[in-house]
Amino acid sequence: MKKSKELKLAIILTICINIIFACSVIYVAVSGWKSPQITIFITSLMFAYHCDIRIFVGYVFNRFIKNKICVQSPLFAIKEKEYKRLQKAGVKRWKDKFIAWNRSLFVLGKMDKDRLNIVLQNNITAEITHWVCFFVGFLAIPIGIMLSSAEWWIYLSTALITSLVADLPPIFIQRYNRYRLQNISKQASQPTKTPTN
């Protein structure tokens, strides 16, 4: 699987964040649970949690949920009104610059029904994954408060930053693309009219 430059950078960043977290554990163990050590530890823990939970949820959903999705379900349908709002938000301008695990999963290529269903499944799975990550990200707040309630602002700010930067843009992208994919699917499912004499 070919990885984009952005994805390679994101993987390197995730590894670095986990290394920083491991170092902060050692730092706190040696110097004690006091400020500023605890603030460094909790900040690195929160960013490691947000990176790792997204990889875990993505893997689980891709492995176990994707093939169970009914692409024709009205639950996943995108209305024209929403598509127009996404157009106004300029999604088309920046969507191809955003990090994607594997862009080929979302490319139609040859126009046949099987490929269209696969791309729609990938599209819907990606959106659901990011919604789950968005909400699971906020679980860091009560987890953090159990560790140390004084640093509540760290839990809130890291949850907000990662959810707004890592989850909302891909949700917008998948919904924008799905409207067009669904229109292609509708056209493909319409019976072709044979000319009458």
Decide if pLDDT at 134 tops 90: yes
| Separation of alpha carbons 174 and 160, rounded Å | 21
Give the residue-averaged pLDDT of 140-155. 83
Task: Tokens for 50, please give them.
Answer: 């947000």
pLDDT band at 191 (very low <50, low <70, confident <90, very high): low
Decide if pLDDT at 156 tops 50: yes
Statement: the pTM of the whole predicted model exceeds 0.75: yes
What are the backbone dihedrals phi and psi of residue 183, each rounded to the nearest 5 degrees, phi first? -65, -40
Contacts with 181 (C-beta within 8 Å, 6 or more apart), sequence order: 108, 116, 119, 120, 123
